[in-house]
Structure 1
């Protein structure tokens, strides 16, 4: 919850499809393991909940949703959202 509270208290948000971690680049659809190998251990990891996926034939499955925070890097915090261990959203926010 601390990570979510911090997110609400900082400045404007911008979205991107890639994030530079040193000389590496992470992109949407990367696995959690790939991101951690390239960016290191996150500042925080927040469990958000589950999302139900309904398949073509009506079969249902649940995927876990997590948000990882990195930063500050040059005054910016980066928030990465994973669904089912896949990166689905990258947001950058300037800290106060």
Structure 2
């Protein structure tokens, strides 16, 4: 019975996560949600593409609102002779989302 509950719980968690990835490796470096743009650039190099996909308002204080650009970068990572592509979504300067975007 415990094994069945564990399997059901694991399935539920994986379903909720979907295609989101929390991080990936580039050589000896790890790119993960929460990294800053300059850190990702140092680890991955220039992205294959950069697109502005929107803007978001963040309330900083009662009287101040910060508008941040939402950008999607496509980066390529080669591992064991295969190239993998990832979609990285930044809000302002912070990496918020990582999704697989195909492979060669």
Is the TM-score greater than 0.5?
A: yes
Q: Which runs of 5+ in 1 are unaligned?
A: 1-12
Q: TM-score, normalised by structure 1?
A: 0.75
Q: How far, CA to CA, are the matches of 2:76 and 2:31 in structure 1?
A: 15
Q: Considering Cα pairs closer than 8 Å and 6+ residues apart, tell me whether 1 or 2 has the greater RCO.
A: 1
Match for residue 67 of structure 1 among 72, 84, 103: 72
Q: How far, CA to CA, are the matches of 2:77 and 2:94 in structure 1?
A: 23
The answer (yes or no) to whether the contact 1:17–1:27 under 8 Å persists in 2 is yes
Equivalences, count:
84
User: Which structure has the larger Rg?
Assistant: 2
Higher strand share: 1
Q: Does residue 85 of structure 2 align to residue 80 of structure 1?
A: no
Structure 1, residues 13-38: CA drift from partner, whole Å, max 9, x if none?
Answer: 82111121122101111110000000
RMSD: 2.1
Q: TM-score, normalised by structure 2?
A: 0.69
Q: Which runs of 5+ in 2 are unaligned?
A: 1-17
